[in-house]
Structure 1
Amino acid sequence: MAMYALTEVTKRFTKGRKEVRALDGVDLTVADGDWLAIQGPTGHGKTTLLQLLGALDRPSSGSVLFDGDDLARLSERRLAGVRARSFGFVFQFFNLIPTLTAQENVETALVPLKVSAASRRERAGRALADVGLADRSGHLPAELSGGQQQRVAIARALVTEPAVLLADEPTGNLDEDTRDEIIALLEGLWKDRGLTLITVTHDSTVARRAPRIAWISKGKVSLRKDDRRAARSRAVTTEPKDADSAAVGGAVATAEQSAAPVTTTEPRDAGGTAPGGRVALPEEATAAE
């Protein structure tokens, strides 16, 4: 069953006297437990699409079904509830509150859910431990490296135990070594927790880690890679007992990857622009695309 089903989704903005279609007839499904990477030229709708998937904005037309509910038609109150309970957000520039410690920053995600203070402290501490920062809980953001700040942001996104983690350029502000550490952390959390992970990225090294890659250009989406079967096979494969077992396992994975459908119906040029508007969470500012 699809967790997301988008049908004929458009998002229009007015720029002067001109109408811009940031999204233009998008059809897309994302199953529970998928990891989808979204790539494309700057200004062609990547962040706009992510905002719709995270219930931060509504489409101009079309439907965005999430677990059977159309996010385009829910009341603001119900939409806020879905957003708080079902989605975790990670942004390029971390969006940590500079005057709060790492522990307190993580706890802020639980405030809208009316979690008790004692439970907030316990859950935030556990989330920080899960990202390897149990010993940095009392530090302010300025006392942490960029990679550590992003780990705090990931802990904040996960502390509500969301079904979906939405990451907008999560490694875009990091050096290559730290980028690799963060994407490995996200991949491990995706596998261990059974999350649905959706990442927007300009970095092909990051995108290639995902079993599915969607390309967006001029507001239209096409699928470039779908290795879901191979990824699931790798996730459940145990350590081979001998060389023969390892060879068989490797052959199966390679065959599945080779059979994965790839479509490149959309042009790869960066011509045209479709600036995406942003709607930020009350306590967070999102990074521009």
Structure 2
Amino acid sequence: FYPIGDTTEKRLREAIMKLNLNDAAFTWEPEQSQTLGLGFRLGFMGSLHMEIIQERLERESDIEILATAPQVIYRVKTLNGETLDISRPDEWPDKKDISKVYEPEITATIITPDDWLGQCMKLLESRRSKYISLNYINPQKVILKYKLPLSEMIADFYSDLKSVSKGYASFDYKHSGFREATLEKVEILVNAVPVEALCSIQPREKAVFFSRDVLLRMKKLINKQMFEVALQAKIGGKIIARETVSALRKDVIAKCYGGDISRKRKLLEKQKEGKKRMKRIGSVDLPQEVFFEILRK
């Protein structure tokens, strides 16, 4: 969480400390970002818990908060032999400097009625998991064991598991170390300006799909401006996805009844040039709903 608007780091700290006295289920510690400044890293029981805490902080303490995407700690080995523990996308080294990347892994134990076994296994397989075992406790109940990345677990895994099992499956996990992975830093840009709060680390095989999904949801949520808004996703120096929020269009020739077609063309060209200038100097305010929507998945 980072303070925005008139909210200071001190006010946010005091609000978090006060709320933590009533809700000890979340953890917190100070955090500093190169571009967002001083803030706090919070640990929650899930995305719904995060939304409730943010809503309570803003309502009860009258503060404004920017919530960034949840992250885990990755281990990066560089070509010069360094080992780095990375907790934020802005700390991610250049691709050309990376030798190997490791991500935290968990061993998950799921107990589910046999009726929902297929749906639970399908969900696990969609989360880059590795099968360990399947055992029946009795003819109606099954224990599943899988290994999967911690990053997949924090991305609404528990709520998705409850959904596919109609609430009957239970879930427990323990940390099992790190595993090698092919990961990329995905940057989200609005009119060529990176939005750090939406940047994230993604598995290479899911990066393009993830980027397209994020941009499509952003396109639906961002209000139209007087100029065109370009939404892009980038890995390194390569654009991997793009969407465009079209500009609001004013009918500048509405009062030109009949008359010379060249005059109408000049008015349209003038409008077009004006919008180009606005795009160069205009800024886009992203509503908080954009961040909530991205954090949900």
**Shared fold per TM-score greater than 0.5:** no
RCO higher in 1 or 2 (8 Å CA, sep ≥ 6)?
Answer: 1
More strand by share: 2
Q: Which has the larger radius of gyration?
A: 2
Q: TM-score, normalised to structure 1's length?
A: 0.28
